[in-house]
Every structure is written in structure tokens, then in C-alpha cells.
């Protein structure tokens, strides 16, 4: 049994539209009613990211020779990782 390529494309477009809509909801809402376990997981993610950033900062202060641009990029990547993990935890509840 073959799959109609047009149907598959339409399905992907609907799935993408749904994904975009959910992310817009995340941008617009102040709070989402999340289960306690999800809230705890969000706090754990935040704590882990902040701890990692502080360790990187401490290492930077210890090693006087470092590439500041890469260090800034590293912290930006941590922020992106936190954002991605946060969305991953929140999306199932929208």
C-alpha cells in the first residue's frame, strides 16, 4: 500500500502548524497549570543550568587566558539548552 505524497505533505503542514501554535501559546501565557512533577523538573533544569554556568564562570576566573567570545557563546548555548528543556517539559500540557 503506497502513501499519497500530497497527503503526507498536508499532514506535515498540519503538524507543523499545531507545533507553531503551541509554541505561540507558550510565548503569550504568563503561567501554565503544570503538574507538580513538571514544576519540580523545571526547577531542576534551571538549577542544573545555573550551576553549570557558575562553574564555567569560576573556571574562567581561574584561567586568565581564555577566548571571551567563545565563553559568551557557551553561556548563550546554556540558555538555549534551558529554553529547549523548558519547552519540552511544558508542551505536553498545552
Write the pLDDT tens digit of every residue in 12-65.
Answer: 677 888 878 877 777 776 566 889 999 999 999 999 999 999 999 999 889 888
Contact indicator for 86, 45 with CB cutoff of 8 Å: yes
HEC per residue, 28-77 = HCCCCCCCHHHHHHHHHHHHHHHHHHHHHHHHHHHCCCCCHHHHHHHHHH
pLDDT of residue 30: 56
| pLDDT for residue 81 | 96
**C-alpha cell recorded at residue 77:** 548555548
What is the 8-class DSSP label of residue 65? -
Amino acid at each position: 500500500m503506497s502513501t499519497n505524497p500530497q497527503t503526507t505533505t498536508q499532514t506535515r503542514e498540519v503538524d507543523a502548524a499545531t507545533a507553531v501554535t503551541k509554541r505561540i501559546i507558550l510565548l503569550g501565557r504568563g503561567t501554565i497549570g503544570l503538574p507538580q512533577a513538571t514544576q519540580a523538573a523545571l526547577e531542576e533544569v534551571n538549577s542544573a543550568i545555573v550551576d553549570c554556568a557558575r562553574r564555567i564562570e569560576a573556571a574562567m576566573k581561574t584561567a586568565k587566558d581564555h577566548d571571551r567570545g567563545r565563553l559568551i557563546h557557551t553561556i548563550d548555548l546554556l540558555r538555549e539548552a534551558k529554553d529547549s528543556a523548558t519547552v519540552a517539559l511544558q508542551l505536553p500540557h498545552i
